[in-house]
Structure 1
Amino acid sequence: MSGRWKNRPEGSEWGAHGADDELGRVNLITPEKVKQGIAEVKEGLTFCLSLPLDFPGGNILNVRRHPPRRRPTFLEDKPYINFPLHRLDAQNTDVVSDDEVTICLQYSTQWDALSHVGAFFDADGDGTDEKVYFNGFRAGEDVVGPESYDGEASDAEGFGANRLGIQNFARHGMQGRAVMIDLEAHVGRERVYVGHDRLMEIMEADGVTVERGDMVVFRTGFADEILSMNRTPSKERLENSCAVLDGRDEKLLQWVSESGAAALIADNYAVEGIPAQPKDGRRPMLPLHHHCLFKLGLPLAELWFLSELADWLRANGRNRFLLTAPPLRLPGAVGSPATPVATV
């Protein structure tokens, strides 16, 4: 029990790292895990794990999210691209270019903050559900929107995640040991919902083990599908391509809990399958997001570019590497682009 909640969801890790904790499983990325990651560096080779941030193109994957829009910065009415500073001072010899961008923070390669997905849950123990996030942080108090949908407080000008914002991950660093699970190598690019039993078979076949504090990375080939469509994605093709985790599989969710994984990362959209497998009754639409972000405080990351790294690891009989992947230190944001780097 904490000052924010009397009840916590069954199987959750609310309070596991303190009543005011905003990192969740990221706490498991300790100095020892960083040293374990560094110990995996044998060749000094680096791999960029980000898509170009204007991919996939359009808004097929998510109608709310649109490609970045770049433009020059302006001095009065003059764009600052190839700007000759002698226009300001005849003695200046510099030429300056400067630009800005409007970007959906979860459009392309990204991290989800713990404020990205909450749930209706009776945290007060009074028989009435509240809108809450990991560790009992409250909608309308800790995560504030510009509009109230269910009676919580709102702020049209000051909206954002006052708690559980993405800046917490940035400050922590998000560097440590990561483990690759190569789903594509076993199921190809067929649309397959991978549950616990199939995942265990794949991990056993490749000799993959996940230890407490590891960041777990799933290669499916989805990012390659995106790249091949060159910013003009096909909705039908994307919805029917590549493996996804089966968020309705209770054994899989239990494995996530017991594995001690510090993050789940994939090259696909959402890590889990959308739509989730059918289930009757009251339920989360995104069961893996619910389990990880809401219950465990375990961050998810999506749309990473993994094929070059995965191919190198397989060719060299390895599956572990050093991962350095901080998000933007942008206070109040519920997600962030990333430019992750793997070092082997």
Structure 2
Amino acid sequence: MEIPRWEDLPLDKSGPPLNAWGLYGKDDQLGRVNLIDNVAVKRGIAAVTEGIRINLNMPVTLKGVHPQRQDATHFVMLRPQCNDDYVAFNTQGSTQWDGLKHYGYLDWPESGTHTCYNGTTLKKASMISNPHLGIQNLVSHPISTRAHLLDIPRYLERKGLPPLQQFFGKTGVSLEVLQGCTADCGIQFAPGDVLCLRVGHTEALLALPSDEVKEMRHCCEDRGYLEYQGVQPTEQVMKWHWENGFAAVVTDSPAYERMPFPAKDLSLHAVFLAGWGMPIGELFDLRELAETCDRLKKWTFMFTSMPLLIPGGVASPPNAQAIL
């Protein structure tokens, strides 16, 4: 299906700004993942030239990854003739997909409600008995397609530009930097591709002493919000993502856009998840991928992800890999 013009948004004129509601039908539960058709999958397969497989997941049990979410619990149960595992975790506490039930437009309509993709209320989406928009849709229609890495820290270093600030006082990754890195790597996008954006958060987080990790958690609790690096949440940045036809986006930060979010409705979380139905991957481990891409001077690859099959689930570890 041809992607409508940016100027045609919102498609549902009675809905919130920049929505694409109804593009794939009023009962659609896949959103932009519909763009991953057989042609997109074959493009991904064609991108494999080296046979190198790279893990993109951080441990589910890693401590202190997200100050606002509880750490995982893991213990082994010794039984007479075997061992069993018990793991309890927040599905967004480490590497994750934000599914379409996760985030809605704030106060749309102006009645104190939050509205998710295709007009489903956040309250309705929260019901376990209602699997609509659940993460199980990314199992029945897996995100297996071609992907591209924009390694922003290395790009800035090559161009002699100031490095990104990770935690406080950051300005965000601008449209100019996104376009410049794309051109510098010779990347050509097509509808159904996945965009992987490295800002260097994983390295910065794992390098922090434990006392500073605790300090960040306390700071978050005091302020009520986090400060992390990500793309600038401007309409021009949104337009660039829409017109390039990404099926999903991935980053190594806790949020694809810089945090805290804008005070108004038009955060990327609202537009991407609730407006377009485009999953957001967060806290991916892009370190080995970035090193390998830089060594090979190859930033395009096959991307595969098979989330947990949780009917009605909000989010899931991605179980993702890159194949170069």
TM-score per shorter chain, which class? 0.7 to 0.9
2:21 match: secondary structure: coil
1:208 aligned residue: 187
Given the alignment of the two structures, is residue 264 of structure 1 paired with residue 246 of structure 2, yes or no? Answer: no
1:42 to 39, 42, 49: 49
Contact 1:181 1:208 in 2 (8 A): no
Give distance in 2, aligned partners of 1:269 and 1:160: 28
Counterpart residue number, 1:76: none
Could you say which residue in structure 2 is the equivalent of 1:69? 73
Deviation at 1:62, TM superposition (A): 3.4
d(CA) in 1 for partners of 2:97 and 2:124? 23
Identity %: 31
2:47–2:301 CA contact under 8 A, matched in 1? yes
The answer (yes or no) to whether the contact 2:61–2:74 under 8 Å persists in 1 is no
SS at 1:36's partner residue? helix
The one of 133, 146, 149 aligned to 2:116: 133
Q: What is the TM-score of this pair, normalised by structure 1?
A: 0.78
Letter in 1 for 2:45: I
For each residue in 1:184-234, what CA deviation from the matched residue of structure 2 results, as whole angstroms up to 9, or x when unmatched?
A: 113344344112122112222222232211000001111122333476653
Q: Unpaired segments of 5 or more residues in structure 1?
A: 73-79, 85-94, 145-158
Higher strand share: 1
Instruction: Measure, in 1, the Cα distance between the counterparts of 2:239 and 2:135.
Output: 26
Relative to total residues, which structure has the larger helix share, 1 or 2? 2
Cα contact 2:148–2:300 (8 A) shared by 1: yes
Partner Cα distance (1:107, 1:231) in 2 = 17
Name which of 53, 58, 83 aligns with 2:64.
58
Between the aligned partners of 1:70 and 1:161, the Cα distance in structure 2 is 29
Q: Which residue, 10, 14, 23 being the options, matches 1:7?
A: 14
Q: Alignment partner for residue 186 of structure 1, among 125, 130, 155?
A: 155
In the alignment, is residue 102 of structure 1 matched against residue 88 of structure 2?
A: yes
- Name stretches of at least 5 consecutive residues in structure 2 with no aligned partner: 1-11, 157-162, 221-225
Question: Residues 11 and 337 of structure 1: is their aligned pair in 2 closer, same or farther, counting only changes over 3 Å?
Answer: same
What TM-score results when the alignment is normalised by the length of structure 2?
Answer: 0.83
CA 1:103–1:181 in structure 2 vs 1: closer, same or farther (change >3 Å)? same
The alpha-carbon distance between structure 1 residues 233 and 268, as it changes in their structure 2 partners (threshold 3 A), is: farther
Contact between 1:160 and 1:333, CA under 8 Å: does it hold in 2?
no
State how far apart, in whole Å, the 2-side matches of 1:242 and 1:270 are.
7
Q: CA deviation at 1:7?
A: 1.6
Corresponding residue number in structure 2 for 1:177: 146
Q: Distance in 2 between matches of 1:71 and 1:29?
A: 38
Q: Secondary structure at the match of 1:20?
A: coil
Task: Provide the residue aligned with 2:8 in structure 1.
Answer: none
- Corresponding residue number in structure 2 for 1:294: 274
Report the equivalent of 1:92: none
Partner AA of 1:135 in structure 2: N
| SS of structure 2 residue aligned to 1:194 | coil
- Distance in 1 (alpha carbons) for counterparts of 2:17 and 2:239: 12
Larger C-alpha radius of gyration, 1 or 2?
1
Secondary structure of 1:27's match?
A: helix
Which one-letter code corresponds to 1:314 in the other structure?
D
